[in-house]
Structure 1
Amino acid sequence: MLLLKVPIARFVWHDVFASAVVFLVALPLSMGIAIASGVPMEKAASVGLVTAIIGGLVVGPLSGSPLQVSGPAAGLTVMVVDFIQKYGFETLGIIVMIGGLVQIVAGLFRLGPVFRAVSPALIQGMLAGIGVLIFASQFHVMVDDIPPGTGKEFGGILNLWLIPAAVFKGVTEPAHRPAAVIGLLTIAILSLWAALAPKALRLVPAALLGVVAATAATSSFDLDVRYVPVPERLLDAARAPRLADLDALRDIGVWLAGLSLAFVASAESLLTATAADSLQRHAVRTGYNRELIAQGTGNILCGLLNVLPVTGVIVRTSANVMAGARTRLSSFLHGAWILLFVLLLPQLLSMIPVAALAAILVYTGAKLVKVDFAKDLWRQDRIETLVFGVTFAGVVGFDLLTGILLGVGVSLARLVYTFSHLAIRVEKNDTSRFVHMFLDGAATFIRLPRFAGALEEIPPGYDAHIHLGRLTYIDHACLTMLIDWGKNFEAAGGRLHLDRDILHRLFEEQASPSANAT
C-alpha cells in the first residue's frame, strides 16, 4: 500500500503546484479579457472571474483533455464585443447557452474530430486578426481612454488608425500620462521577464509580476488612474437570464451568433487540447467528443449566469503543463483558488489599475500575430497563405464571423480546384510512332470531356504510354472511359502502356484495362 501512496502523493503535489501557477496566470487575464470583451466596467471583474471559476470547477473534471485549462479566452473577445453591441449584455447569456447546447450535441454525435480538420492557416489568420483588434482597442484603454471605434462600423480599423492619437495623449495630456506610464511599465516587465527571467523562476507568471508592479507604483506615487471597479459582492454580477430575456430567441441573429460561437470556441478548445497532448507524456490523450461535451456543459452554466463563454486557453494550458501538472486535479484546483480569492480577498482587486490589465492584453494581442508562421506558410504553400491573409483581412476589416466565412470560402475554392484541375501534356514522336501522355492532378468527371478529347487525338496504330505518376485521383467515370478507349485503341492496332501499380494504389486493386503494362 505504501508503494501506491507515494506516487499518488507525488502526483497530487505536482498538481497543487501547477494549479497555483495557473491561478496566478488566470487571475489578471480573466479580468482583462472581460474588460476587452465589452462587459460593463462595473461588472467586468466579476464576470471574468466567474467564467474562470466555471472553467476550473466544472469543465476541468469533465474535460476530455486532462491537462487543458479552460476559462475566458482572448480569442473570443472580438466575437463577444460584437454580440454585446448588437444584442446587449443581457442577451449574452442566451447566446452562450445556445453555443453550449450546440457543443454538447456535436459531442454526442461524435463530431469532435471534425473540428480538427479546420485549416491551420484559417485558425492562425483568425487569431492574428483577433490579436490586431485586441491590440488596437486595448492600446486606447491603456492610456485611460475609450476606444474610438467602439460601436462603430469598421471600428477595429478606426482603433488601429488612431493609435498615434493615443500615443500623443499618453505623452502630452496630464489626464492620460499616468496611465500610459503604468501601461509601459507593465509591458516592459512582460517583455523583459520573457527574455531575461532565470530558468528557475520562469514559472512565475510575467502577467502577475506586471500587475503587482503596476499596482505598487500607482499606490506608492498616488497616481490618478482608473482602477478595476469591484462590487461589494463579486458573485452578485452573475445572474440567470430573466423571462423577458428569452424574447431574444425569436431573433434568428441570436441563433446564428450561438452557432458561430460554438464553432469558434470548439475549434479553439480542440486545437488547444491537441497542443496539450504534444507538450506532455504523462496524461492520457484527448477524447475530443468528451471535450466538446465538457465545454458545452460549461457554456450552458456560463449562459445561465450571464458571464463570458468558456473555452480551452493555450496560455493557461501551457503554463499548467510546464508547471508539471499530471492530472485534471490541477485545473479543478485553479478554479478553487480563484473562488477562494474572490470570497476572501476581493478588496485587493480594487487596487489594480485598468491600464495594467489593458497592457497585458496589448502584449497578448501582439503575440497572437505570428509573423514567423506566415513567412513559413508563404514558402510552403501560397494558396494556404491566401487563406491566412483573407481570414485575417476579413476579421480586421469586417468581423470575426465574416473573416472565418471568407477563409472557409477560399479553402473550399482551393479544394474544388484541387479536385477539378487536370493538366494534360502530350509528347508525340511520328518517327517512332510513340506517344507519351502525362497526367497531373485529379481526373474527375468535370475534366472528362477534355481527357477524352486528348486520348482521341492519339493516332491509331501508335504505342501510347499514359503516365499516371502525378495523378492524385481518378474517379469511376474517367476510369471507365479510359478502359473503353484502351480496348478500342488496341482493337485498332495500337499498344497501350499503363502504370498498373499506380492504378492499384489509386483504386485499391481495382482492375485496369487489358493492356500491356510497363
Structure 2
Amino acid sequence: MENGNSVFYRLDIKKYILKKNLKRDLPASLVVFFVALPLCLGIALASGAPLFAGVLTGVIGGIITGSISGSQLSVSGPAAGLTVIVLGAITELGNYQVFLLAIVLAGGFQIILSIIKAGTIGNYFPSSVIEGMLAAIGLILILKQVPHALGIDMDFLDESVFRNDHNGAYAAIGRAMTQFNPAALIISAVSIATLLYCTKERMPKGVPAPLIVVVLGVALGLAFKQTAYALRPDQMVTIPTVKGWEEFTSLFTHPDFNAIGNKKMWTVAVTIAIVASLETLLSLEAIDKIDPIKRVSPTNRELLAQGIGNICSGMLGGLPMTSVIVRSSANVNAGARTKMSAIFHGCWLLAALLVIPVLINMIPLACLAAILLLTGYKLTRISLFKEMYARGWDQFVPFVVTLIAILLTDLLKGVAIGMILAIFYLLRINMRNSFFYKIQEEGNKKNLRIKLAEEVSFLNKAAIQVMLNNIPKETNVIIDGNNSRYIDPDVLETIFNFQHHAYTKGILVTLENIKKHYSVPKLTDEIIQDINK
C-alpha cells in the first residue's frame, strides 16, 4: 500500500507542477506568438521566399523542434542571421525546390553533429562575449523596429545595421523622421506606455500585457481608419488567407531530389548546417544566462532537435531554422517556465493560418514594434553596461568590442572578433596565474619560494622564463610543484635549464616534487558519461 500511495503522491506532484507551469506558459506562448508572427513574415520576405514558408517554419520550430529540444525556454524559427545566405542560395541555385533539398541535407548534417557530440563547442564561449551578443541584438532590435513604430515599412534583412544602401536600419530611421505616420506614432506610444504601466504587480494573473497592447493596437487602428492618417496595408500584419483544407495544402512545396548531384546545393547545405548550428549554440548559451532558474540546456540534444526540425521544414517548403534569441528572450520576459510555451506558440501560429488570418491582419505593425522595442531594451539595458564595467577590463572590453563588431559586421563575425579578444585576455590571466611566489630575508640571503599552479601549460612558459631571469643574485630558490597535476614539457625544460645554470649567479635552486615527465590528466569514464548526458 505504501508503494501505491507513493506512486499516487508523485503523480499528484507532477500534475500540480504541470498546472502551475501552465499558468505561466500559456500566457507567455501568446506573447511569443505575437512577437514571432511578424518576424516569420519579415524574414521570409527578406529571404526571397514565400511568406507562408516563414510562418510554416515557425510552426515546425515551435511544435516539432520544441518538443524534441531539451531546452525549456528556447524558441526556434526562421533566423534573421540566415537571410543573406538564404537569399543568395535561392538566387544561385535558381530553384526553390533545389534549395529545400539543401535544407533537408543541412538537417541531416546537424543530426550527425549531435551524434559526434559537437554541441559542447558552445561551452567555450566566454560570458563577456555572450553578453555582448545579447546587447548587440537588443540594439539591433531597437534600430530595426523604430521605423515600424513611426509608420515606415522596412524589409527585415540581416543583423548588420551600419549599411550604406537604402535598406539599412539607419537609412530607414532617417526616412521615418521625415515621413512618419501620426497614427502609427500614437499607436506605438500608447503601446509602450501600456507595457510600462502594466507590470506584473498591476496585472491580473494570466493576462499578458502584450496581449492588451495588441487589442489596443487593433482598436486604435480601426479608429484611425476613417481619418486622413489611416494605416496603409504595408503597415499592418499580412499573412496568407486560406479557405479550406485543399487551399491550405496547396501552399506546401517539396524538395527536388533529382538535384542530389548538384555540387552547389551540397555547398549550400554544409554552409547552412554550420552557420545554423553555431547560431543555435550561441543562442542557447545566451538563453541559459537569462533563465531565472539557471538551468543548463543539453547542447547535443538541441542539435538533434534542430536537425529534425530542418528536415521537416525542408520537406514541407519552409526555411532553415535556428534557436532564436529574440523569440526566446521574449519568452523568458513573459514568464515562461517550460518548453510548453514554445510548443503552444507553434500551435497559435498554425491556428492563425487556418482560423483567424483576417483578425491577425488587423494588427498594426506599430504595436508589435513597441513590444520588440522594450524586449530590445531589456537585452541592452544601461545597468548591464555598468555591471560589465564593474567586472573589470578583461570582461568589459570583449563585451563592448563584441557589441560594436556585430553592429559593424554581422552576428557570427562579431562574435568571432569578440572571441579573439576574450582569448587574449584569458591568456594574459592564465600566464599570470601559473605561479605565485613569496620572498623571505634571512640575514644577507633572500629565500624565494615559487609555488606552481595545478595546471602549467606551454602558455605559461614565457611568464615563468621572465620571472626566473629576473631573480636577483645570491638567492635561495625553492620551486614547489606539490600542487601541480601537470607541467608542460617546455616549462619543465625551462625549469631544469635554470637549475643547471643558476649557480653562475650564485643562486641555489631546490626542486620540490617536480617530476621529469607528466602525463596529461584524463577524465574518468564516469565524468565523460555525465558530460555526454
Contact 1:98 1:259 in 2 (8 A): no
Match of 2:209 in 1: 206
Distance 2:90 2:12 in 1: 53
User: CA separation of 1:81/1:206 partners in 2, compared to 1, >3 Å: closer, same or farther?
Assistant: farther
Aligned with 2:293: secondary structure?
A: helix
Task: Give how far 1:458 is off.
Answer: 5.9
Match of 1:82 in 2: 84
Distance 1:437 1:279 in 2: 42
Contact 1:41 1:229 in 2 (8 A): no
Give TM-score, length-normalised by structure 2. Answer: 0.74
Aligned with 2:238: secondary structure?
A: coil
Please point out which of 135, 140, 153 is paired with 2:147: 140
Match of 2:254 in 1: 240
Per-residue CA deviation, residues 399-436 of structure 1 (Å, 9 max, x unaligned), is 22221221122223334444556899998989613254
Match of 2:489 in 1: 476
Q: Does 1:186 align with 2:191?
A: yes
Task: Give how far 1:460 is off.
Answer: 7.7
Match of 2:245 in 1: none
Task: Give how far 1:169 is off.
Answer: 2.5
Match of 2:135 in 1: 128
Aligned with 1:335: secondary structure?
A: helix
User: Where in structure 2 are the equivalents of 1:93-492 lying within 5 Å?
Assistant: 97=104, 100-147=107-154, 154-155=162-163, 158-160=168-170, 163=173, 165-170=175-180, 176-193=181-198, 196-198=199-201, 201=204, 203-222=206-225, 223-225=230-232, 226-233=235-242, 238-242=252-256, 249-250=264-265, 252=267, 255-273=270-288, 275-276=290-291, 278=293, 286-304=297-315, 305-307=317-319, 309-311=321-323, 313-315=327-329, 317-318=331-332, 322=335, 331-419=342-430, 432-434=444-446, 436=448, 445=458, 448=461, 451=464, 455=468, 462-465=475-478, 474-483=487-496, 485-486=498-499
Contact 2:41 2:55 in 1 (8 A): no
2:115 partner amino acid: L
Contact 2:122 2:299 in 1 (8 A): no
Distance 1:509 1:447 in 2: 16
User: CA separation of 1:211/1:469 partners in 2, compared to 1, >3 Å: closer, same or farther?
Assistant: farther
1:143 partner amino acid: L
Greater displacement, 333-342 / 345-354: 333-342
Per-residue CA deviation, residues 6-28 of structure 1 (Å, 9 max, x unaligned), is 44544554455444313311221
Contact 1:214 1:353 in 2 (8 A): yes
Per-residue CA deviation, residues 104-158 of structure 1 (Å, 9 max, x unaligned), is 2222112333312211211221222222223222212333324499699942895
Which ranges of structure 1 fall in alignment gaps of 5 or more residues? Answer: 171-175, 511-518
Aligned with 2:151: secondary structure?
A: coil
Give TM-score, length-normalised by structure 1. Answer: 0.76
Distance 2:466 2:393 in 1: 32
Distance 2:345 2:396 in 1: 38
User: CA separation of 1:121/1:12 partners in 2, compared to 1, >3 Å: closer, same or farther?
Assistant: closer
Distance 2:371 2:49 in 1: 19
Aligned with 1:116: secondary structure?
A: helix
Contact 1:203 1:319 in 2 (8 A): no
Number of equivalences: 489
Which ranges of structure 2 fall in alignment gaps of 5 or more residues? Answer: 243-247, 522-533
Please point out which of 21, 30, 35 is paired with 1:24: 30
Distance 2:320 2:267 in 1: 21
Per-residue CA deviation, residues 201-220 of structure 1 (Å, 9 max, x unaligned), is 26422222211111111113
Distance 1:330 1:353 in 2: 24
User: CA separation of 1:483/1:127 partners in 2, compared to 1, >3 Å: closer, same or farther?
Assistant: same
Task: Give how far 1:260 is off.
Answer: 1.9
User: CA separation of 1:472/1:411 partners in 2, compared to 1, >3 Å: closer, same or farther?
Assistant: farther
Percent sequence identity over aligned pairs: 20
User: CA separation of 1:165/1:240 partners in 2, compared to 1, >3 Å: closer, same or farther?
Assistant: same
Contact 1:302 1:310 in 2 (8 A): no
Distance 1:269 1:169 in 2: 39
Aligned with 2:477: secondary structure?
A: strand
